[in-house]
Amino acid sequence: MGNNLNISIFGLGYVGLPLAVMLSKYFNVLGYDKNIQRIKDLKSFLDKNNEVSYKDLKKTKLKYSTDIKDLKNSDIFIVTVPTPVTRTNKPDLKPVLESCKDIGKIIKKNSIVVFESTVYPGVTEEICGPEIEKYSKLVSGKDFYLGYSPERMNPGDKLHTVDKIIKVISGDCRKTVLTLKRIYGKINSNKIFIAKDIKTAEAAKVIENTQRDINVAFINEITKLFKKIDINIFDVLKAAQTKWNFLNFKPGFVGGHCIGVDPYYLAYLAKRKNISPSLILSGRKVNNNFPIFLADFINSKISRKNKILILGLTFKENVSDLRNTKVIELIKSLKKKGHKVYVNDTYADLNEVKKLSLKITPLNKKENYDTIILAVAHDDYKKLKYSFFSKKLKKNGKIFDLKAIWINKKLPKKIEYKTI
């Protein structure tokens, strides 16, 4: 393939948009998304995910479309659509299969289809390839080619961006691998790792997130234990971190569309192969139950029904994404105990919040509360001043700082401050 490659990116979310913008500096890139409003926003230089700035969107050469026919001249298709789970925590491959169907209808011979979406090993070649064949009447490995390059985007992280991280690539033949090496190498100064094969690359991705899930689950579980004997987990971690090889994980909510989901893909494969995914699923169980533990802990420290303000609703700090946020479980649990709960989030999209049957309480609203709970460590909350707490909290009010971001902050004298 020549230098003037036509590349199409399927899905312009947290993964697809930054990748598309970066690739458009070197290639002809068309960003495709079925969400008409998303495309309208991007054409107005607005990324509601806050991953790409107004300035970068304004100067990009990236083109946009919601019409699949516009992609018919593509040499490379890169699929970055979500891979969620069903209500029963089974892999939901519908978004990926829809992409395969769309690509199959327009793909031309000698094109390459690359998947970045997280899947279990085997999906690219055993499910996606045949799906494209079905609609294209072409043969995988002969008329078109498959690749897999796991995304490693960390929403809200401005250090480990797509141009700075090592990119794992794999393909169904040497020619595919060399083409992907040239494409991805352009945007990250050739920081490329070539995996042995596609299944290996798929496996590497799914264990990256599963490993993190299990590590956080361990910290969450010992947090529960240490609460029983009145030890503060953050004090413990501060001491343990002095050992050179201690892994620095902290307690908290594990939600979102990756770490809170991907272990189920690995567990699904394990069950199909008659392997019991006991450790994988125990990690999920601990992390899913942690918000309920926190609600019980907070409730045990409150003597009556409280008016509570929760700070933070998104699944992690400094992002607007509400998918699979575990703060919802905390809110529900506290409400069940009779407390009146209000929530603020300085990043969440108001329309998305409404879909959760919630509304955002502005911080400048003249209200005061019995209790403030810090649930998500947005930078905006780290900057809150002494005056905020003195105005917002009633006399003898309580603060539950679940992320320990105010541990050294000067607070009003009669305020009771607790971490977990």
Question: CB–CB of 118/150 below 8 Å?
Answer: yes
Check residue 365 and give its pLDDT.
87
Check residue 407 and give its pLDDT.
93
Per-residue pLDDT for 311 more than 90? Answer: yes
Q: Are strands 167-171 and 145-148 parallel, antiparallel or unpaired?
A: antiparallel
pLDDT digits over 380-409, tens only?
999 999 999 999 999 889 999 999 999 999
Per-residue pLDDT for 2 more than 60? Answer: no
Q: Are residues 410 and 263 in the same domain?
A: yes
Which of 145, 180, 195 is the C-terminal boundary of a domain? 195
124-149 exposure pattern, b = at least 16 Cβ within 10 A, e = fewer = bbebbbebbbeebebebeebbbbbbb
The arithmetic mean of pLDDT across residues 321-331, rounded, is 94
How far, in Å, CA of 82 to CA of 97, rounded? 11
pLDDT-above-90 percentage for the chain: 90
Per-residue pLDDT for 324 more than 70? Answer: yes
pLDDT digits over 93-104, tens only?
999 999 999 999
Other C-beta atoms within 10 Å of 353: how many?
17
Number of domains in the chain: 2
How far, in Å, CA of 420 to CA of 415, rounded? 16
203 falls within a domain: no
pLDDT digits over 179-208, tens only?
999 999 999 999 999 999 999 999 999 999
Q: Are residues 181 and 76 in the same domain?
A: yes
How far, in Å, CA of 258 to CA of 253, rounded? 13
pLDDT digits over 110-131, tens only?
999 999 999 999 999 999 999 9
First-last CA distance in the chain: 56
Question: CB–CB of 11/80 below 8 Å?
Answer: yes
Q: Are residues 254 and 176 in the same domain?
A: no
The arithmetic mean of pLDDT across residues 47-76, rounded, is 95
Q: Two tokens at 401?
A: 């700082």
**pTM score of the predicted model:** 0.91
47 falls within a domain: yes
Per-residue pLDDT for 169 more than 90? Answer: yes
Q: Are residues 126 and 253 in the same domain?
A: no
Domain that holds residue 139: 6-195
396 falls within a domain: yes
Question: CB–CB of 107/136 below 8 Å?
Answer: yes
Check residue 118 and give its pLDDT.
95
* Amino acid of residue 393: L
| Mean pLDDT score of the chain | 95
Q: Are residues 177 and 47 in the same domain?
A: yes
pLDDT digits over 205-221, tens only?
999 999 999 999 999 99
Q: Are residues 243 and 285 in the same domain?
A: yes
How far, in Å, CA of 107 to CA of 74, rounded? 7
46 falls within a domain: yes
Check residue 163 and give its pLDDT.
87
Which CATH number belongs to the domain containing residue 132 in this structure?
3.40.50.720
Our measurement of the distance from residue 405's CA atom to the centroid of its chain's CA atoms, rounded to an integer in Å, reads 22
pLDDT-above-70 percentage for the chain: 99
Q: Are residues 273 and 165 in the same domain?
A: no
The arithmetic mean of pLDDT across residues 264-269, rounded, is 96
305 falls within a domain: yes
The arithmetic mean of pLDDT across residues 294-307, rounded, is 93
Q: Are residues 177 and 247 in the same domain?
A: no
Q: Are residues 157 and 254 in the same domain?
A: no
Check residue 155 and give its pLDDT.
77
Q: Are residues 149 and 260 in the same domain?
A: no
218 falls within a domain: no
Check residue 290 and give its pLDDT.
96
- How open is the CA angle 77-83-86, to the nearest 5 degrees? 150
Check residue 159 and give its pLDDT.
83
More confident residue, 33 or 50: 33
131 falls within a domain: yes
Phi, psi values for residue 110, rounded to 5°: 75, 10
The arithmetic mean of pLDDT across residues 282-309, rounded, is 94
56 falls within a domain: yes
Which of 177, 195, 213 is the C-terminal boundary of a domain? 195
Check residue 153 and give its pLDDT.
82
Could you say which of 100, 128, 173, 258 is catalytic? 258
Chain position carrying tokens 């799914």: 206
258 assigned to active site = yes
Check residue 3 and give its pLDDT.
58
Q: SS3 for the chain, per residue?
A: CCCCCEEEEECCCCCHHHHHHHHCCCCEEEEECCCHHHHHHHHCCCCCCCCCCHHHHHHCCCEEECCHHHHCCCCEEEECCCCCECCCCCECCHHHHHHHHHHHHHCCCCCEEEECCCCCCCHHHHHHHHHHHHHHCCCECCCEEEEECCCCCCCCCCCCCCCCCCEEEEECCHHHHHHHHHHHHHHCCCCEEECCCHHHHHHHHHHHHHHHHHHHHHHHHHHHHHHHCCCCHHHHHHHHCCCCCCCCCCCCCCCCCCCCCHHHHHHHHHHHCCCCCHHHHHHHHHHHHHHHHHHHHHHHCCCCCCEEEEECCCCCCCCCCCCCCCHHHHHHHHHHCCCEEEEECCCCCHHHHHHCCCCECCCCCCCCEEEEEECCCCHHHHCCCHHHHHHHEEEEEEEEECCCCCCCCCCCCCCEEECC
How far, in Å, CA of 405 to CA of 281, rounded? 30
Average the pLDDT over each of 122-126, 152-156, 332-336 and give the range with the smallest value. Answer: 152-156
The arithmetic mean of pLDDT across residues 258-278, rounded, is 95
Phi, psi values for residue 258, rounded to 5°: -120, -75
